[in-house]
Structure 1
Amino acid sequence: MSEPRFERLTGSRLEQALPELARLRIEVFRDFPYLYEGSLEYEQRYLRTYLDEPEAVVVGCFLDDRVIGAATALPMRGEPESVRRPLAEAGYDTDRLFYFGESVLEKAYRGQGIGVRFFQEREAAARASGRYDHAVFCAVVRPEDHPARPKDYQPLDQFWRRRGFTRIEGLSCRFSWKDVGNQHETTKAMSYWIKRL
C-alpha cells in the first residue's frame, strides 16, 4: 500500500479539492460527538473561507490521488465574532491567535500518526508567520449520558493534551447545527483549547 502523502493546498489545488474536503467533513462529523447533519452545498461554501484568507492553512493527506484526511487553520480574524468575543473578553489579543478549524480523517487511517502531523503542520505555519502567540480551537461539549454516545467512545482530550493544548476552563462559545435525525438546528456549547506557540 502507498504511504500517505501530505500537501499544503492553496489556490486552484484547494478549489479542486473542495468537494472531497466537504465529503470528509460530513462523513467524520456525522459521528459522535458532533452528530452533524451536513450538506455538500453548505460545506463547499464554508470551505471557500480558506480560499479567501491569504494566511489560511489547509493540509491534505492523500493516498495515491485520494484525499483521506485534511486539517485547516486560519487567523482568528477569519472566525465569526461569536467565536472571537469570549476570548477577547477573557483578555486574549485575538489578533495574536491562530485558529485551528478542523482535523478530519477517514476511520481506517486513524491511530497512524496522521492526526499528529496535522497539528505539527498547522503549528509550523502559525510560527513561521511570526504574528501569532497561541493556537486555539473549539470542541463540542456533550453530556456524559448523551443517548447517542457509543459505549466505546474515547474523547480526544488526552490526544490534545499530548499535543500541548490545555482547555480554557469556564470559557465557551456556541455553534448551531442540525443533529443527525433532527428537523431543526440546536445550539451547542463549544470549549476552547489553547497552546502557546
Structure 2
Amino acid sequence: MRVESFYYKDILALIPKLAELRIKVFRDYPYLYEGSLDYEKNYLKIYTSSTQSVIVAAFDGDELVGAATAIPLRDEADYIQKPFLDAGIDVTEIYYFGESVLLKEYRGQGIGHKFFEGRESAALKFGFHTTCFCAVERPAGHPMMPADYSPLDEFWKKRGYAKHNELRSEFSWPDIGEIEETLKPMIYWMKQC
C-alpha cells in the first residue's frame, strides 16, 4: 500500500479511475448514488483547473483503491460556497475537502487518517488555515440504512472537526434505482489548522 499526493495537472491521469471509484463507493449508504462515468469525469475536471488542488490517492500496487480530494473553496461551485457566503464567511480563506472514497476491504487500516493528513498538509502548503467538508444527512430510520451502519461523526471529531448545522447546502443526485435527481441536505464540518 502507498498513499501519494497529486497536484493540479498531475491529477488528470487519475480522473478515469477516480470516477469509477466514486461510483462504486458512493453507491453504498448513506449516499446511495446512482452515478454515471460521463458525469463523474466532467465533475472531476475541476481539480485540473485549480492550481491549488490536491488528490491524495491510495494504491495497492498500481490499483487505485481510495482517494480524497481538496480545492480552495473559492474554486468550488456556487452551491458549495453559498452557505458560507450567506453566513458572511470569507470563502477565500477556506480549503474545501471534496470526496473521500475508499474500498471497503481497505478500511480500518489508517488510510482515512492519511487522507486527512495529506489534505491538511496541502491546505497549509497553500496558505489556508481553515478546512471544511460536508456530509449528507439522511433521515433517521432511512429504509436503506444497514443495521450495522456507523456514521463517521466520531472519527471526524477526533480529527478536530466540528459540525456546523447552520452551514447547509443541498446537493442533487439520483438515488440507486432512480432516474431523476433529488435534493439531499449536506451539513458542513470545519477545523482550524
TM over 0.5: yes
Mark the CA change 1:88 to 1:133 in structure 2 (over 3 Å): closer, same or farther.
Answer: farther
* Distance apart, 1:60 and its partner CA: 1.0
The aligned counterpart of 1:175 is 171
5+ long unaligned stretches in structure 1: none
* Distance apart, 1:59 and its partner CA: 1.1
2:19 partner amino acid: A
Distance 2:8 2:83 in 1: 32
Distance 1:103 1:81 in 2: 21
SS at match of 2:166: strand
What does 1:115-134 correspond to in 2, within 5 Å?
A: 115-130=112-127, 132-134=128-130
* Distance apart, 1:9 and its partner CA: 2.1
The aligned counterpart of 1:154 is 150
Task: Provide TM-score, normalisation by structure 1.
Answer: 0.94
2:85 partner amino acid: A
Contact map agreement 2:8 2:50 (CA 8 A) in 1:
no
The aligned counterpart of 2:111 is 114
2:139 partner amino acid: P
Distance 1:17 1:159 in 2: 27
Distance 2:77 2:47 in 1: 14
* Distance apart, 1:82 and its partner CA: 1.6
Distance 1:100 1:11 in 2: 15
The question of 1:190 aligning with 2:186 is answered yes
* Distance apart, 1:91 and its partner CA: 2.7
* Distance apart, 1:32 and its partner CA: 0.4
Contact map agreement 2:8 2:51 (CA 8 A) in 1:
no
Deviations 1:163-185 (A, max 9, x none): 10000123211100000011211
Distance 1:28 1:72 in 2: 14
Please give the root-mean-square deviation of Cα atoms over the aligned residues, in Å.
1.2
More deviation in 8-17 or 134-143? 8-17
SS at match of 2:67: strand
The aligned counterpart of 1:105 is 102
* Distance apart, 1:15 and its partner CA: 2.0
* Distance apart, 1:18 and its partner CA: 1.4
* Distance apart, 1:133 and its partner CA: 2.6
SS at match of 1:153: coil
Counterpart pick for 2:54 among 54, 57, 60: 57
The aligned counterpart of 1:90 is 87
Counterpart pick for 2:14 among 12, 17, 27: 17
More deviation in 163-172 or 4-13? 4-13
The aligned counterpart of 1:28 is 25
The aligned counterpart of 2:76 is 79
* Distance apart, 1:88 and its partner CA: 1.9
* Distance apart, 1:11 and its partner CA: 5.8
The question of 1:164 aligning with 2:165 is answered no
The aligned counterpart of 2:137 is 141
Task: Provide TM-score, normalisation by structure 2.
Answer: 0.96
Distance 1:74 1:16 in 2: 17
SS at match of 1:7: strand
* Distance apart, 1:79 and its partner CA: 1.3
Q: How many residues are paired up? A: 193
